[in-house]
Amino acid sequence: MRRIKGFIYSLPNWPNFDWDFERLLPLIGEVRNLQGKLTGKMEALGFKLQNEAYLETLSLDILKSSEIEGEYLNLDQVRSSIATRLGMDISGLIPSDRYVDGVVDMMLDATRNYDDELTDERLFGWHSSLFPGGRSGMFKITVGNYREESAGPMHVVSGAMGKEKVHFQAPSSDVLGSEMAVFLNWFNKENNNTDPVLKAGVAHLWFVTIHPFDDGNGRIARALTDMFLTKSEKTEQRFYSMSSQIRKERKEYYRLLEKTQKGSLNITDWLVWFCECLKKAILESDVIVNKVLFKHTFWNEHASTLLNKRQVKILNLLLDGFTGKLTSSKWAKINKCSSDTALRDIQDLIKKDILTKEAAGGRSTNYELKFPTR
C-alpha cells in the first residue's frame, strides 16, 4: 500500500510543504541576530576556549539527542571520543565503546562536512554507526539500508504492552526509494529563497515522516537539523545544542510532530515551534560559555598551587559537571586509592581553600568546589 489515509504523506500534493512566511520572518530575524551575537562573543574568547566550548556543546548535543529516544550515554566516554577524533588534548580521557564512537562519528560527519552531498550511502553509513551490532536492544534490525516490512507496517507507539497507542504509521517500505530520492534532491539543492534555518525545520519533519529506517530515525533527523544549522553559520563549530532544548520540550516535540503528521501540508505551526526552540537553545549557550570561563578562571587562579594527579583528576571532574555528591569513598573509588589517601587529598584541598564541606549534613560528608577568588 503506497498511501495510508490520515497522514500528510497521503495528501495529493505531498511533499509540497508551505508556510506563512510573514509569521515566521520575525522569528528567523531573531534567531539570525542571536547566532551573530554568539559568534562574536565566542571569537572574543580565543581559540583555546572556543575549542573547549565546542567540546562541551557537542558532548551535550550527542547526549541529549540520544536521551530523547531513551538512550543514556556515558558523558566521559562521549567527551573522550570527541576529543580523540578532534585531536584535542584534555585530561581524563577514557576508552569509549563502539556505540558511543558511532554516534560521535555520525555527528562529526554531519557538522564538519556540512557542505558535502547527502546520499543514500552516507545515510547508510550513519545508520550503521548507530547500530554496530546490528540490533536495537534485543531485536535484530535492518542496518545500513532502508527498512523492510517483513514484520508488518512501521508504527510509532507508546504505552505498555497490550495497551499501545499508535501515534504514527510510516509510509510502506516499497516507496522508500522514491520518497528518499525526492527528499535527497531537495536537501542537496541550493535554494536561496529558503533560509537554512527553515530548511533545518522542514528537513527534520520530512525525514521523520518518511521514517526510512527500522530505528534511529529521530537521531539521524536531529543530525540533519544540525547539518543545516551549521550550514546557516558557515562554520563547523556551534556553541548551542538544539537537541538539548528539544529534550527539555520532549512532550511538546512529540505532540506537535503527531499533530503535524496528521494535519495539512501547511507546516507553519511546526516551524514556529522549531524556531522558538532554536531561539531558546541559543540563549542557553550562556550556560556553556560560563562553565568554560569558570574552568579557565579556576585553573588560572590555581596555576601555582601544588596538586597531585589524583587531585587534578577529581577537580577536572567537578569542573566538567560531576554527577552526584563528592565523598571520600567516591574519591577513593575513582582514583583507586585507599580511604586514608582520599581523605588526606581532600583535607589538603580544604587547607588550600579549593574544596569545602557542603553545609547540608547527612550520613556522609560531601565536598564541593569553592569559587575562584578573582
Nearest to 123 by CA among 182, 163, 180: 180
Which pLDDT value is given to residue 3?
47
As a residue count, the chain comes to 374
Give, for all 374 residues of the chain, the pLDDT tens digit.
344 568 999 999 999 999 999 999 999 999 999 999 998 888 888 888 888 889 989 999 999 999 999 899 998 899 999 999 999 887 667 889 999 999 999 999 999 999 999 999 999 999 999 999 999 888 899 999 999 877 567 777 766 666 667 788 889 999 999 999 999 999 999 876 789 999 999 999 999 999 999 999 999 999 999 999 999 998 888 899 999 999 999 999 999 999 999 999 999 999 999 999 999 999 998 888 888 888 888 888 898 999 999 999 999 888 877 778 899 999 999 999 999 999 999 999 999 999 999 876 556 789 999 865 44
CB 326 within 8 A of CB 366: yes
Write down the domain spans for the chain: 8-288, 302-369
Quote the CA–CA distance of 123 and 237 in Å, as a whole number: 22
What is the grid cell recorded at 154? Answer: 512501521
Fold of the CATH domain 302-369:
Arc Repressor Mutant, subunit A (1.10.10)
Three-state secondary structure readout of 196-257:
HHHHHHHHHHHHHHHCCCCCCHHHHHHHHHHHHHHHHHCCCCCCCCHHHHHHHCHHHHHHHH
CB 174 within 8 A of CB 2: yes
What is the grid cell recorded at 85? Answer: 577524533
What is the grid cell recorded at 323? Answer: 554527577
CATH architecture of 8-288: Orthogonal Bundle (1.10)
